Amino acid sequence: MDFKLSKTHLLQQELFRRFAAAEIAPLAEEMDETEVYNLDLLKKLHKYGMMGIPYSKEYGGAGADYLTYVLCMEELSAADASTGITISVHTSLACSCIDGFGTPAQKEKWLRPLVSGLKTGCFGLTEPNAGSDAAGQQTKALLDGDAYVINGAKIFTTNAGFADTFVMFAMTDKSLGTKGISAFVIDRNTPGLTVGKNIHRMGIRAASNCEVAYDNVRVPVENRLGKEGEGFKIAMKALDAGRIGIAGQAVGIAQGALNEAIKYIKERKQFNKRISSFQNTQFRVADMQTLIDAARLLAYRAAVTKDNGENYGPQAAMAKLYASRIANDVTRDAVQLMGGYGYSREYPVERMMRDAKITEIYEGTSEVMKMVISGSMKIS
């Protein structure tokens, strides 16, 4: 058992940290205020290989392991959680469905431009009436000759505002339940596919998160990923992997907030002493760092388990459950340590506290994480 990152991982971590400081942090406040993701930054994420980290070089990816991807999520989210979710949905949800279930021809056509070009992906699973109950899909895909005709609506589709490639799920046979869901990959410009309004949110306000309507969208059979009826499994597998990235994102948000609070308490004086010299403050900081480190270890364990080709679903769920919980605790404490300034928009910790909340909700709520973990324990 070795708890140290390798030299390569440390080098990558440093590169991600520098990129975040130079390119992301200066934009984070403005993107949050305007609720618009900076598309020049998106281009840079593509250009510097951050949109294809765990994918094979054969298709233009970086060929790195999943732990490297988690390090990226952590470092970039410490500067801006909206960047974290933009990368997560593209990489671990959209690309992973194509990588895991696409044919070589589908990978060539769809994966290559996502991991080595400038194309961005999104993932349409959630519907107005199918959130945690992902099997309750209403969107239908009915076979008509050599194409499926898709009708329905998705909601909260992250990246939809600017995505080029839509991985989405629809019922091909409602009578079969979870075995009647299929996965499709669709070009944004397909007639009948309409991206609706960006949904205003409490946090990760710079991310794009939209309704998507499918109105008689004709999709060739060759755009189906995997076999007919395999869609639920494809979505679940993508989400298992995605949840490790969200754990990394939550760790990053928490560490980012603690770093900001530490900078502040070293400067701020009250009662003629720096706040950092009060033992009450020191103990609070010690608790915060301990929570972060525990969550980080869970996230790294899940990533390494995945890299080793072992069953990682329950570990991913534990990492997300715990990291998202402590991200909320730590960001709230960071605001408290900084008092009125922490609550003000002059400092980034109030944004980080707002951003942390969603990590307990998306890519599976904390309650769903507990279903996955307890399910794996076979106690009932």
Distances (CA, A) of 220 to 120, 184, 314: 21, 9, 35
Selection from 118, 114, 117, 203 nearest residue 167 by Cα: 114
Q: Tokens 């507990």 identify what position?
A: 370
Taking CB under 6 A as the rule, does residue 140 contact ligand CAA? no
Among 91, 106, 126, 359, binds ligand CAA (CB under 6 A): 126
Q: Considering all CA atoms of the chain, what is the largest pairwise distance in Å, rounded to the nearest integer?
A: 79
Q: Does 156 bind ligand CAA (CB under 6 A)?
A: yes
Please say if 35 is a catalytic residue: no
| Binder of ligand CAA out of 236, 262, 294, 373 (CB under 6 A) | 236
Which tokens belong to 317? 């769920």
Say whether 64 sits in a helix, a strand or coil.
coil
Taking the complex as a whole, the smallest distance from the CB of residue 346 to ligand CAA amounts, in Å, to 29
Per-position x/- string for 308-337, each x denoting binding to ligand CAA as judged by CB under 6 A, each - no binding: -----x------------------------
> Is 368 among the residues that bind ligand CAA (CB under 6 A)?
yes
Helix boundaries (H) for the chain:
7-19, 25-34, 39-47, 66-79, 81-88, 96-101, 104-106, 112-116, 231-267, 279-307, 313-343, 349-358, 366-376
Part of the chain binding ligand CAA (CB under 6 A), chosen from 21-29, 40-48, 102-110, 233-241: 233-241
Q: Is 101 in the site for ligand CAA (CB under 6 A)?
A: no
> Which residue from 181, 133, 129, 125 is spatially nearest to 157, judged by alpha carbons?
125
Single residue of 237, 268, 354, 370 touching ligand CAA by CB under 6 A? 237
CA distance 77 to 348: 12
Q: Does 135 bind ligand CAA (CB under 6 A)?
A: yes
In the list 240, 260, 350, 360, the residue contacting ligand CAA (rule: CB under 6 A) is: 240
Can residue 11 be called a binding residue for ligand CAA (CB under 6 A)? no
Classified as helix, coil or strand, 127 is strand
- The residues that touch ligand CAA, with contacts defined as CB under 6 A, are 85, 89, 93, 123, 125-126, 132, 134-135, 156, 158, 178, 232-233, 236-237, 239-240, 313, 362-364, 368, 371-372
Residue numbers annotated as active site: 363
